[in-house]
Every structure is written in C-alpha cells, then in structure tokens.
Structure 1
Amino acid sequence: MIGAHPSGVQLPLRVRKKLRTRQALVDAALELFTERGFDSVTLDTLCDAVDVSKRTLFRTFSSEKDVALAPVHDLWAVFMEELETAEPTGGPAFELLEGVLLATLGRMGADGWAERLRLSRRLSARTPSTEAHHLAFCDRTGAAIVTVMQRGFDMTMQPDPYGLRPRLAVDLLAAAFRRALERWVADPSETGHEGLADALRDACAAVPESLVLPARPH
C-alpha cells in the first residue's frame, strides 16, 4: 500500500509523494509500451503522460528499461528483505529459498502489482533489449542472494570456495520461478498473485525429479 511501510507505520509525506510518482510512471510506461511497443515510446511521451520532468524520471529510475521491469525488480527487493530475516531450520537451502519467495509473493498482492507484473513480462518477452536487461538484473540479484546466504546461514557440507552449491540453489529457484511465471502469464484466468504462488509450488516440486529424469533410448 502506498503511504505505509510493511510494518504499518505511516511514511512521511515526501516519501509518499515519491512513491506515488514512481507508481504513476510505471503504470503509464507499461500502458504505453504495451500499446505502442517499447521502442516507439519516447522519454518525452512518457514524462508528459505523468506530468513529470526527465530529471524526475532519472532520479527514480536508471533507464526506461528499469521502469518497464519495475514490478520484477520490486519483487526481488522484497525477497531480499525477507531473506535477511529468514530463520533456517537445517533443511535444504532450496526449500528455504522457496519459502522466502512464497512469503514475498504474499506481500506483493496489493495495489495491482500482479497485473503490472503480467504486463511487464509480456513486454519483456517481445522486446529483446528489455529481456537482456532483465537477465543481467537476475544475474546480479542471484549473486546478492548468495552473499546474504553465506553471511547469515551455515551451509557447510564440503569445501566450496567458489560458492557453487548455494549459487546453484539460487539458480534453480530462479529457473523454477521463470517457468511458473510463464505458466501464470499465459493463463488469462489467473489474475492474482495466488495463482503465481501455486505455479511456483508446482515448479519447485518438480525440481528434484528433473535432476533424476531418465533419458532412455526409444
């Protein structure tokens, strides 16, 4: 909810105004990009739609691509918050990561976020430059997640100086989420984040079986 911190504390007026401007930019960008195509929308057109200056836009976002990908970026920003306070029980790290992502989706259910995410993913799928920007973001975020895990959790099994195992756990989660997202976006009957959470559970449940999937000759 704009204007309130997740704890329920009311945010200062200046912060609330900044958040409202940010959301207005995202909503306008996704609408314009969807209607006209990413490369056909100029900065002037986007700024005029929200009645802000280019300076305001670039104080809020690094690029037009970041505006288009804001719903995904917001999801993983909240994921990082959840991961910082997660309490491991000694079970598999992958299961912990899945639980954190499901908790994150539960926090993202308000203010039309799910519909913005759907528009963003459809746009990215048909815009190669935006999809490349998204993949670079995912790689950076994966590295940041591993750093938090190594700092906060004891994952010692055997010597792993390059952090290969935690990174693979993160990569498996990212792959499962991507497949879940594809399924959810393609299903017009799924309009809320709950359907995405169900698709994620199914994808994560399939990960162990995928690792031992037999490849028999015909």
Structure 2
Amino acid sequence: MSDDLRDLPLRERKKVRTRRALAETALRLFTERGYDATTLDDLCDAVEVSRRTFFRNYRSKEDVALAADSDLWSAYLDDVAAREMNGPVIDALRVTLATTLSTMDDDWERRFLAARELSEAVPALQAHSLGYCQDTTRALVAVVSGRSDAGVEEWRLRLAVEIFVAAWRTASLRWTAQGGRGDRGALMELVEETFAAIPAALTATA
C-alpha cells in the first residue's frame, strides 16, 4: 500500500484508488484511441464503474484528462492556505510551489506530461485548460488576499499572482517542449530559472 494512502480510512482509500484509476485509464485511452474517439462509456467500462461514480469524481472528460493539473493545484492551494505569508508574495508562492511539487506522487510528472501533450493536440482541452487556469488564478488571489497585509491593494496582489502563474506556465511549457527530460528535478530547475529571470524579463526591450 502506498504511503500516501496508508493512513486513510478504507472508504477514502477506495475513493482515491477509483479516482486514480479513472485518470490513469483516461490518459491511456485518449492517447491510444484519440480523445474524441473515446467516449465516457468506454472509460467507465474500462475501469468497471458507473457513470454516476465517474461524475462523483470528475465533472467531464476534460476534467479527467487534465487530472494531473487539478491534483497539483488543489494541493498547492491547500499549501498556500496553510503557509505563513511573509515577504514578497511571488517569493512565497514560488517556495510553496517547490514544496508542493516535491510532495506529488512518484508518477505525477508522467501523467502531467501526457496531459500537457493531449492538451496541445486537442482544442477542447486547450480551452478547458485555459478556463481552469483562470479559475485557479482567481482562487489563488482569494487565498493570498486572506493571508496578506490588509493594507495591500487587491489589484497589486492579483498582479503578483498573475506574474507567478505566467512564470509557472513558461517553465512547464519549456519542460514539456523538452519531452519532460530529466523528470521532476529538471522541471523544478526550470521553475527556479524562470522565476530568477522575471526582473530581466520585465525590462526586456523589443
């Protein structure tokens, strides 16, 4: 039994296993057969669950295809909410991201890479990914606003969060363009390199 499930009650372990099985099988079927050619019923049959069970875990085919993204950001939002926010917001967000990435399950980067490749190839997933990014950014602004100096204007916090999200997207796109070379360690190095380049990027000339 994996360490991250060992301490959960039996009911919760079953729920996590079902969610993981749906996400893993979805990536396999979408890659092998094509996203549009794979129906929700195909996925449910392959995992041997009902549509009702599917919708208890995911809202749509798009959601299950991009489960690696939501797994990361759900964990990240929890980590930000639990973290004491001191100093520059972007620095605190970057450090917390490194912590969250280090705690993702051993197979996460493979699933994330596969999801990114699918997203690049399927317009519906591209649109869903952008919408999810917007929702996550909004949620992150809300969490940061609740934990920051009350004297900081909301629009300044939003700007800091938007820069953070743009830096993450830039780093992750660089990593996926390299085919996930070096696995998670290389991704984390690119994250650090990208954040370090923000000051120079802000003064770059055309």
TM band (smaller chain)? over 0.9
| 2:93 matches 1:92 | no
1:104 to 100, 107, 114: 100
Q: Which amino acid aligns with 2:4?
A: A
2:194 to 203, 209, 212: 203
Q: 1:188 deviation in Å?
A: 3.6
In terms of fraction of residues, the more helix-rich structure is 2
2:109 to 105, 110, 114: 114
Q: Which amino acid aligns with 1:151?
A: G
- Contact 1:3–1:16 (8 Å) recurs in 2: no
Q: How does 1:133-148 map to 2 (within 5 A)?
A: 133-148=128-143
Q: Which amino acid aligns with 1:79?
A: Y
Q: 1:191 deviation in Å?
A: 4.7
Q: Which runs of 4+ in 1 moved over 3 A?
A: 1-5
Compute the TM-score of the two structures, normalised by the length of structure 2: 0.93
Compute the TM-score of the two structures, normalised by the length of structure 1: 0.89
| 2:167 matches 1:176 | yes
Q: How does 1:59-78 map to 2 (within 5 A)?
A: 59-78=56-75
C-alpha separation between the residues in 2 aligned to 1:37 and 1:79? 30
Q: How does 1:39-50 map to 2 (within 5 A)?
A: 39-50=36-47
Q: How does 1:4-19 map to 2 (within 5 A)?
A: 4=4, 10-19=7-16
* Structure 1 counterpart of 2:20: 23
Q: 1:192 deviation in Å?
A: 2.5
> C-alpha deviations, 1:12-45, integer Å up to 9, x for none?
0011011101101101000111122211101111
Q: Percent identity?
A: 42
C-alpha separation between the residues in 1 aligned to 2:8 and 2:3? 5
CA 191–15 in structure 1, closer or farther in 2 if over 3 Å, else same: farther
2:55 to 55, 58, 61: 58
> C-alpha deviations, 1:144-165, integer Å up to 9, x for none?
11111111111635xx3xx221
Q: Partner of 1:200: helix, strand, or coil?
A: helix
What is the number of residues matched between the two proteins? 206
C-alpha separation between the residues in 1 aligned to 2:161 and 2:168? 11
Q: Which amino acid aligns with 2:59?
A: S
Unpaired segments of 5 or more residues in structure 2? none
Q: Partner of 2:95: helix, strand, or coil?
A: helix
Unpaired segments of 5 or more residues in structure 1? none
CA 2–74 in structure 1, closer or farther in 2 if over 3 Å, else same: farther
* Structure 2 counterpart of 1:150: 145
CA 105–155 in structure 1, closer or farther in 2 if over 3 Å, else same: farther
